[in-house]
Amino acid sequence: MEEEKLTNTGLAARTEATRGVYAGYIRRKRLVMVLLAVVVLAIATLSMGMGSLGLSPSEVVMAVFGQGSTRAVAAVQNLRLPRVLTAIVAGIALSLAGCAYQSVLRNPLASASTLGISQGAAFGASVAIILLAGGASSSAAYEGVSTAEPISTALCAFAGAMLSTVVILLLSRVREMTPESIVLLGVALSAAFTAGTTLIQYFAEDSQVAAVVFWTFGDLSRVSKSQLAIMAGVTAVSAVFFFLERWKLNAMESGEVLAHGLGVSVNRVRLANMLFASAAASTVIAFCGIINFVGLVAPHIMRRLLGSDYRFLLPASALAGAGLLLVSDILCHVVVAPLILPISAITSFVGAPIFIYLLFKGVNR
């Protein structure tokens, strides 16, 4: 009787210790996400204070709520705040999409670029600008070059991006393909779309080619408030879906066999997550142009910090993507001011070294 009591006491102590360890595990991850949110807000405030009209953080906050000087309110609410919100929404969407791709395809290199989605969007934009007479006019970032029909260009870019996803999903259903084969199929589609874009540009006028090239550079400032609302809506719906799928993504992280054993329909989860990820990424690319590396690097950074628990990896990746794109946007405006550099070039310059560092760190482990 005494031995049984001691055994129960020891078991209770171990259970309590395990609960304490788990509670600490949860607290650390939540603390990281809170710090990330604070950093994103700080970077956003810094970004809105920079420019020809310099503003302090307090002046920025006042201007956001319509207080302060007329010039400050006009500069923040009409120019800087929409651009910052676009960067945050785009960073969240691309990072969530990249996180979902890497999970369901079990491939750390899966992203909108490697699956041909970005290249499909560029092909669609080329069709709109050149074949559908999108033409060229002016741009806030690149004076004298832009698209005259931004709505049709965005719709064609979205259609091209989703076309890549549909082709991948259809071929993977017709013939059972491994996740690795799906990524290779995406690479092949990337080459095909790039070839199509090149051929269309070859027969186009110089102004049309210039409009296509500058569209692919990416530009956060060209997104209107209505387009931002569409981006935010699609991103919010996708984020809710990914949050509801978090336990299934955790199961798939342990392998398809174990996921099947836990009652997860692997094919259905892969199909649904790829569709929502592609919708989010395609919407951003359609309105902003091609933005590289954000969806690839942000999930990797957070996976190093927080592990592969998708309860925390998804929101942390979203915050990291928003912060990364905000920093890149700041660099676009300050590196060679008053010129504004292409956002896609800056994200590549920022993201590539980080990804190489993470790659070598993983190899060393």
Using DSSP's 3-state secondary structure scheme, residue 96 falls into helix
pLDDT at 237 over 90: yes
What tens digit of pLDDT does each residue of 184-196 get? Answer: 888 899 999 999 9
How far apart CA 310 and CA 266 sit, in angstroms, is 16
How many domains is the chain partitioned into structurally? 1
State which residues form the domain around 138: 2-364
Question: Do residues 325 and 265 touch, judged by C-beta distance below 8 A?
Answer: no
Give the model confidence (pLDDT) of 25-72 as tens digits: 788 888 989 999 999 999 999 999 988 888 888 999 999 998 888 888
Which range has the top average pLDDT, 181-185, 275-279, 333-337?
Answer: 275-279
Distance, in Å, from the CA atom of 103 to the CA atom of 95, rounded to the nearest integer, reads 12
pTM (predicted TM-score): 0.88
Give the mean pLDDT of the chain: 85
Residue 176 has pLDDT above 80, yes or no: no
Closest to 190 measured CA to CA, from 290, 334, 90, 63 = 290
Residues 143 and 221: their CA atoms lie apart, in Å, by: 12
Q: Is 37 exposed, middle or buried (0-12, 13-18, 19+ CB in 10 A)?
A: middle
Q: What is the phi-psi region of residue 279: left when phi exceeds 0, alpha when psi lies from -120 to 50, beta otherwise?
A: alpha
pLDDT of residue 29: 87
Number of H helices, E strands in the chain: 15, 0
**At 57, which helix (H) or strand (E)?**
helix 57-64
CATH code (residue 83): 1.10.3470.10
- Confidence class of residue 98 from pLDDT cuts 50, 70 and 90? very high
The label of the residue with tokens 């832009």 reads 146
Model confidence band, residue 206 (pLDDT cutoffs 50, 70, 90): confident
**pLDDT value for 255:** 77
Contact 91, 325 (CB under 8 A): yes
Residue 142 has pLDDT above 70, yes or no: no
